Amino acid sequence: MAGNVLEFTDDNFQTEVLEATVPVVVDFWAEWCGPCRALGPVIEQLSNALGSQAKVGKLIVDNARDVASNYGITNIPTVIIFKNGEPITRFVGLTSLQQLQKAVTEAAG
């Protein structure tokens, strides 16, 4: 993953996302998904803009079916913002940097 964007998996989801002390943005995506690839640069920009205010990462649904299933991911890209281990905001489809930043700021506040 590029820059500060983390890679979430079935193996690290518990510690990296659910046990995090800051809000966590998870982009559920797949390589073969055109809209997912289009959202990639937005996720990178978000990570750079947030710095240590939140964790930002991507989870490849084809490689992490358990997590994707647990959160009812049926369409990608889906971005879920977690706080204190709970999903608090969900975006399905292409989402703007501004929408994501606003949601993370609200989650952090």
User: Which residues are marked as active site?
Assistant: 33, 36
Tokens of 18: 């659910």
Contacts of 109 (CB under 8 A, 6+ apart): none
With beta carbons less than 8 A apart as the criterion, state whether 39 and 91 touch: no
